[in-house]
Structure 1
Amino acid sequence: MTSTDTEHRKSAFAKAREAIAPRVFYPSAAIILAFVLVGTLWQTPEPAEGETKETDFSVVLDNINTWITQKLGWYYLFVVFGFVVFAAVVGFSKLGRIKLGPDDAKPEFSRGSWFAMLFSAGMGIGLVFWGAAEPLAHYATPPYASPETEAAARDAMHASFMHWGFHAWAIYIVVGLALAYATHRKGRPLSLRWTLEPLLGDRVRGTIGDLIDITAVVATLFGVATSLGLGAQQINAGLDALGLASSPEDSTQTNATQIIIIAVVTSIAIWSVLTGVKKGIKWLSNINMVLAAVVLVFVFIAGPTLFQLRELFTSIGYYFQNILSTSLDAGAYPAENSGYPEAGGFQAAWTAFYWGWWISWAPFVGVFIARISRGRTVREFCLGILAVPTAISFVWFAVLGGTAIDQAQGGADILGLDEASALFAVLDGLPATPLLTGLATLLVVTFFVTSSDSGSLVIDTLASGGNLEPPKPTRVFWATLEGLVGITLLVVGGIVALQTVSIVTALPFSLIMIAICVATWRGLNNDPAIKLKPKRKQPAKS
């Protein structure tokens, strides 16, 4: 290595040290690395049949998950419903005409690329994982109806629509809108602390602002790591369906396979994040949408098309008919013959997890969609993000979930499967199974990479004080750390650990989001575009 190369390398790392926000970067990294260390070292052997497992990291996570979902499920329901109301009111009100940027700003990306990127980052990998698995799970164990009945099928689709519809995207809007307004309209760095400036003033520059950004970094990394863990499980299931990997039921071999999957895909994500938003991330997002469309159209044509269409429109009607009651249903009066006869059982098992998962993803998706939304109006931002991704999610569940329920009603042995394997079991009942399975597995990989590279870029942006182009060495650091956390969660507790971490990290950030709503409302109402009333036209003189 020449002296010039050494100087260049030193220069790159020196620039990285100068670019980071040390009071955010180092505490965030320490918290996450401590989690990885404790999760790796604090493990006990699996007990023999009939014995109780000794307390270790996985047991602690399980106990925390049980306490939060059972004691605070009502809180998540109430808060998230409030976010839906906030997003709708802001979008439809006079505040909607405010531009996210200077008054003459033009959008940086076309509307198609904008939707593709926010959808890929927002929930793409989750939709592929749960598209068939969740309706099947609710059909077998429904929240209100008797299991495996027509009423159970209706409940299954309605619950899936609830978890992936307006509520999820309203959570993203709360953070994304506040960031986009502060960054593009007010010229602040792309950092969470500035969303609270209308409420806290200059105090966001000090310790309070540091704590806000640290909370956002930790929540983002664990939220993304949850998705990476789910993605690794499903890639493993896809490779198994293709005969290229061990069965997900073989836990020892599966852990090794999934660790390799996370390592390989994280390497690809590192390449993508180094190329930036306008190249790697944009290209992969567009590829995601094309692959998703191919899989969707194939299943629509090859599957029970008429049933899917009926399911789509029936479920949309039922969704809007019951959105208010189910949004606030904390399970005080459970149905005796349902799959969850105990009070709050369904909400604890499913809804609390989803609302926690979306909240933990809110800093990540919020920063990312704020980053790509310069030049949009507040109305276009709110209503576009509420409506279009929700509509795509409904179609996805009607096609994939509708096909799964139709097969289950027809006697196919697909109930009770591992969640990661459900999609491929459904695809096995359609023509051209190997080709379709290969495409679906590739789709999971591209969504996996997009989630990882987008998440790394966002975390690095937060940890560098809002720098839109953070240094490359730290991008690599955060991408690697995401992979390590994903591996740790899979090893210590699988999907339960993934769910628990999302719910736990969401709790403190949900309080910040409530404050963000208040601050955003105050900031928008004090904007010059609202304060300056347009002049009335004078009546023409006769």
Structure 2
Amino acid sequence: MANMNDVRKRYTLDPVVFGVTAALIIAFLIWGLVKPHNLTSVSSTVLDWITGNLGWLFILTATGFVIFAVWLALSKYGRIPLGKDGDKPEYRTVSWIAMMFSAGMGIGLMFFGAYEPLFHFVEAPPGYSARDVQVAMATTMFHWGFHPWAMYAVVGLAIAYSTYRLGRSQLMSAVFAPLLGNSVNGPVGKIIDILAIFATLFGTVASLGLGALQIGSGLDKVGWVKNPSTMVLVAIIAVLTAAFVASAVSGIAKGIQWLSNINMVLALILAVFVFVVGPTVFILNLLPTTMGAYANDALGFSARSGATVDADGESWLASWTIFYWAWWVSWTPFVGMFLAKISKGRTIREFVVGVMIVPTVVSLLWFCIFGGSAIREFTDGKLAFDPATSASEDTLFDVLANMPWTAIASALVMILVAIFFVSGADSASLVMGTLSQRGTPEPSRWITIFWGVSTGAVAAVLLAVSGDDGLTGIKQMAIIAALPFVLVMVGMCVSLYMDLRRDPLIVARGLLSDRVDEHIREEAVKIETSEFAVLDPETGDPIAPFVNDTVETIPPATEDKKTTEGKRTE
């Protein structure tokens, strides 16, 4: 009975983590409602300072996470399971991939799939010429390939290993046990969990804002709602919020897995449709071009910073690369913890390959199909696009307008955006509930509902205060909320490495290696100190032994002196 009491106590609401974070979110909502212009001004000032002075931090750490994740997969640590020895994966590989992809960036692919390649094609990144399809596709893949998924991988690995291998609570702070010791349960640990909830909420808000804007654009393009107002967008947010809260309280197995599998099928149908009716040959030619350009330019793009570009280049970096790195960082708490939840039983190597390679390949195919279609329509004069005025949420619908069955395809896009968001946001609500209740794997419904409703409320406020450019306020807060969590991620990498060095498999392997080396040395000593007679091939007499690798001369084989003399007399 004592053990059950301990378990109940362990998973009760953490009043500090929940209370402080909830108070900050409520204060933010009041600020936005009472003084919206002041909120916009302050957030813009903070954002300018971050991108101008700390952009290098996002750039360095993003590449560092890629190197760290790949090294773990290729090293001796890659064979360590994320669970006890003998644990098997809880989900089939297909469902596992579908769930992590939906949670990871599904809604972003819908929003930027056609827009970003076309944008970089028309207005090239700093240092490059416009109308270069290789640069456009390589830049897009740089933002959506290995770098974001490496960020998810390191956080997911740290949480999964700490929780399922070592039996710690499912908290961000629990990962820091090797660094903080008992202090992990003190103020520092509370701050880590608060920062994780804060980043998760604003990362989800960014997704919700993107989803609402694109659904609103779709309603306008198909003629169902003309020029959707802010109130229409808020209504869309309310519907999406109710949907993902309902999915979240149903649990992972019932809600997220079901929605993810449906989404994967619908996304495949949409991609095949555009591939078939769109510029098929151009898309096929674009695949090897994109792979080669990405492989060739990724290293150079990773080193691009304020030191290598002019003022316009710095503005471009802030709007694209730094925004993306911050956006991915803000997603890492809930995507990483969600990946950990669904990856129990898989090895570190399998986890890294599944999380980094598979989604990157899918992203490549997606951008080649939708981005390639947009670029071809633009070069053929079928699609009008101005980087300064064209809305990002409109581009995909404009591309579909030049294809058959436009209304059906546009409706499918809106359904996909809604489900992608719901499947990602409900996992975020579960993660925030887990962090609020000391790492419980199944947070209470009222906690999950609270964080879901809070997410919708913050998204509505940011859309309202942003005015005509509804995406501006959302981008600003995503970057601001992500900044402190970058340092948390660096600490998680260090803690994970310290834990892995003491893993039973690694320790046992080291002991076995030492014993084998000791045995080999002992045998070598025996061989070196043994005397092996070398026989004369004609007489069969020994002529020399080897003692410690030194040849020594020995006298001929002796016989009894009298016997020898007798033989001579005869």
* TM-score, with structure 2 as normaliser: 0.85
* Distance in 2, Cα, partners of 1:330 & 1:307: 33
* Distance in 2, Cα, partners of 1:301 & 1:157: 20
Query: Any conservation in 2 of the 1:131–1:401 contact (CA below 8 Å)?
Result: yes
1:483 counterpart = 2:456: yes
- Note the C-alpha offset of 1:67: 2.0
- Note the C-alpha offset of 1:345: 3.0
* Distance in 2, Cα, partners of 1:343 & 1:393: 26
Partner of 1:512: 488
Partner of 1:173: 153
1:376 counterpart = 2:358: no
* Distance in 1, Cα, partners of 2:189 & 2:179: 12
Amino acid at match of 1:360: S
Partner of 1:397: 367
* Distance in 2, Cα, partners of 1:59 & 1:183: 41
Q: Pick one of 129, 136, 140 that aligns with 1:160.
A: 140
Q: Pick one of 61, 73, 77 that aligns with 1:95.
A: 77
Amino acid at match of 1:42: K
1:42 counterpart = 2:35: yes
* Distance in 1, Cα, partners of 2:127 & 2:408: 37
- Note the C-alpha offset of 1:454: 1.1
Query: Any conservation in 1 of the 2:126–2:316 contact (CA below 8 Å)?
Result: no
Q: Give runs of aligned pairs for residues 154-233 of structure 1, distance below 5 A.
A: 154-233=134-213
* SS at structure 1 position matched to 2:36: coil
Partner of 2:300: 325
Aligned residues: 502
Partner of 1:265: 240
Shift >4 Å, 4+ stretches: 15-18, 145-148, 534-539
Partner of 1:26: 19
1:294 counterpart = 2:269: yes
* Distance in 1, Cα, partners of 2:212 & 2:332: 22
1:437 counterpart = 2:410: yes
- Note the C-alpha offset of 1:328: 1.4
* Distance in 1, Cα, partners of 2:384 & 2:144: 22
Instruction: Spell out, residue by residue over 1:33-69, the C-alpha distance to the aligned partner (whole angstroms, 9 max, x if none).
Output: 111110111135xxxxxxxxxxx21122222222212
* Distance in 1, Cα, partners of 2:11 & 2:180: 27
Amino acid at match of 2:76: K
* Distance in 2, Cα, partners of 1:89 & 1:146: 32
* Distance in 1, Cα, partners of 2:187 & 2:23: 17
Query: Any conservation in 2 of the 1:176–1:369 contact (CA below 8 Å)?
Result: yes
Percent of aligned positions that are identical: 44
Higher RCO by CA contacts (8 Å cutoff, separation 6 or greater): 1
* Distance in 1, Cα, partners of 2:11 & 2:324: 38
- Note the C-alpha offset of 1:145: 6.1
Query: Any conservation in 2 of the 1:69–1:349 contact (CA below 8 Å)?
Result: no
* Distance in 2, Cα, partners of 1:331 & 1:71: 9
- Note the C-alpha offset of 1:201: 1.2
* Distance in 1, Cα, partners of 2:477 & 2:331: 12
* SS at structure 2 position matched to 1:529: helix
Query: Any conservation in 1 of the 2:126–2:313 contact (CA below 8 Å)?
Result: no
Q: Give runs of aligned pairs for residues 333-352 of structure 1, distance below 5 A.
A: 333-334=308-309, 342-352=312-322
Partner of 1:458: 431
Partner of 2:554: none
Q: Pick one of 274, 288, 295 that aligns with 2:249.
A: 274
Query: Any conservation in 1 of the 2:21–2:197 contact (CA below 8 Å)?
Result: yes
Q: Pick one of 497, 521, 524 that aligns with 2:473.
A: 497
* Distance in 2, Cα, partners of 1:162 & 1:146: 15
* SS at structure 2 position matched to 1:300: helix
Q: Pick one of 224, 231, 242 that aligns with 2:222.
A: 242
1:448 counterpart = 2:448: no
Q: Pick one of 126, 130, 134 that aligns with 2:112.
A: 130
* SS at structure 2 position matched to 1:75: helix
Amino acid at match of 1:226: A
Q: Mean alpha-carbon deviation: is it higher for 80-89 or for 489-498? A: 489-498
Query: Any conservation in 2 of the 1:16–1:473 contact (CA below 8 Å)?
Result: no
Q: Pick one of 493, 499, 513 that aligns with 1:523.
A: 499
| Shift in alpha-carbon separation, 1:141–1:389, aligned structure 2, 3 A | same
Partner of 1:474: 447
* Distance in 1, Cα, partners of 2:383 & 2:89: 49
- Note the C-alpha offset of 1:23: 1.2
1:143 counterpart = 2:136: no
Instruction: Spell out, residue by residue over 1:377-401, the C-alpha distance to the aligned partner (whole angstroms, 9 max, x if none).
Output: 0111112211001110111001000
Q: Pick one of 76, 86, 99 that aligns with 1:104.
A: 86
| Shift in alpha-carbon separation, 1:376–1:356, aligned structure 2, 3 A | same
Query: Any conservation in 2 of the 1:16–1:472 contact (CA below 8 Å)?
Result: no
* SS at structure 1 position matched to 2:312: coil
| Shift in alpha-carbon separation, 1:446–1:413, aligned structure 2, 3 A | same
| Shift in alpha-carbon separation, 1:93–1:16, aligned structure 2, 3 A | closer
Amino acid at match of 1:216: A
Amino acid at match of 1:390: T
* Distance in 2, Cα, partners of 1:441 & 1:477: 26
* Distance in 2, Cα, partners of 1:183 & 1:18: 14
In angstroms, what is the RMSD of aligned CA positions? 1.9
Instruction: Spell out, residue by residue over 1:112-155, the C-alpha distance to the aligned partner (whole angstroms, 9 max, x if none).
Output: 11111110000000110010111122122210466652x2x322
Amino acid at match of 1:30: A
* Distance in 1, Cα, partners of 2:67 & 2:486: 16
* Distance in 2, Cα, partners of 1:429 & 1:145: 33
* Distance in 2, Cα, partners of 1:107 & 1:17: 26
Partner of 2:47: 65
* Distance in 1, Cα, partners of 2:192 & 2:162: 15
* Distance in 1, Cα, partners of 2:483 & 2:128: 33
Instruction: Spell out, residue by residue over 1:283-325, the C-alpha distance to the aligned partner (whole angstroms, 9 max, x if none).
Output: 0011111111111110011111111111121111111112111
* Distance in 2, Cα, partners of 1:522 & 1:18: 27
Amino acid at match of 2:266: L
| Shift in alpha-carbon separation, 1:228–1:215, aligned structure 2, 3 A | same
Query: Any conservation in 1 of the 2:137–2:293 contact (CA below 8 Å)?
Result: no
* SS at structure 2 position matched to 1:420: coil
* Distance in 2, Cα, partners of 1:420 & 1:138: 16
* Distance in 2, Cα, partners of 1:404 & 1:211: 45
Amino acid at match of 2:385: L
* Distance in 1, Cα, partners of 2:141 & 2:197: 29
* Distance in 2, Cα, partners of 1:198 & 1:113: 33
* SS at structure 1 position matched to 2:229: helix
Amino acid at match of 1:362: T
* Distance in 2, Cα, partners of 1:229 & 1:32: 17
| Shift in alpha-carbon separation, 1:200–1:146, aligned structure 2, 3 A | closer
Instruction: Spell out, residue by residue over 1:141-181, the C-alpha distance to the aligned partner (whole angstroms, 9 max, x if none).
Output: 210466652x2x32221111000000000111111100000
Instruction: Spell out, residue by residue over 1:434-489, the C-alpha distance to the aligned partner (whole angstroms, 9 max, x if none).
Output: 11111111101111211221111111111111100111111111111110011111
* Distance in 2, Cα, partners of 1:171 & 1:365: 10
Q: Pick one of 222, 230, 246 that aligns with 1:255.
A: 230
Amino acid at match of 1:497: G
